[in-house]
Amino acid sequence: MIAIVIVVATFLSYVVGWLLNVPVLVPIFNTAASYPFMVLALERGDVRLAIARMLLWALTLGVCAMLMSYARPAATGTLFVRGDAYRAEMFEWILTGRGAESTPSRFIPQQLGQAAIFTGLALATGGVLAMPVGAVLMNDMGHYVGTLAAQSRHPAMTMLLAWHPWSIIRVISFVILGVVLSAPLLSRLGRFTFDWHGAKPFAIAASVGLVADIVLKALLAPAWQRLLLRIVGW
């Protein structure tokens, strides 16, 4: 039942964001749809459940942002905080093969910076500020995928393959770290016990995932760009 509530509430967060049309509020509405359920799971001492709930939330974010951008690319370009800027960057990469996506000297510092900001906010704010940052990143990616599919000769295949495998690993890793690193502050404020020993394997797996993200991106991005270019048909 909670899973259905998270999916429906996340969908409604986009409806409210669309109606109000205030970009900075969209990731806040997005986060409000799932954050309380993450906290409830942590209060029960169930880190695995908290992670599962937030992974479902991230999946729903990606699908909603993608489908909205497929249907209304111009409107979502302004609705999502960095939507158009990220879309332009990724389209340029697909067209030319040039850009941060295929340049380790550029994307490694960028991704390390994002990871540092996200994890720092998770620790310092119990995830209150980290999760909206994650929502911004998911909306950017969803917008890129949806608008690319809207211009593609093969929209369905584009919707699948434009979610680069390394990006999926990064999303999963961010979600896990966001949950685990939010727990220490939340446990102090909520006066519940947090089992760090039980959560440690999840944090290690997520850290390995961030390394795998960088390695896979460095190895696969050039070939993936050529694959996407053929599928889109530009």
User: What is the three-state SS of 201-223?
Assistant: HHHHHHHHHHHHHHHHHHHHHHH
Structure tokens given for 214: 């960088």
How wide is the angle at C-alpha 159 spanned by C-alphas 157 and 162, nearest 5°? 95
CA gap 199, 106 in Å, rounded? 32
Q: What is the pLDDT of residue 25?
A: 98
What does the pLDDT profile of the chain (234 residues) look like in tens digits? 999 999 999 999 999 999 999 999 999 999 999 999 999 999 999 999 999 999 999 999 999 999 999 999 999 999 999 999 999 999 999 999 999 999 999 999 999 999 999 999 999 999 999 999 999 999 999 999 999 999 999 999 999 999 999 999 999 999 999 999 999 999 999 999 999 899 999 999 999 999 999 999 999 999 999 999 999 999
- CA distances for 111 relative to 43, 153, 164, 171, 173, angstroms: 31, 31, 15, 12, 12
- Tens digit of each residue's pLDDT (9 = 90 or more) over 128-158: 999 999 999 999 999 999 999 999 999 999 9
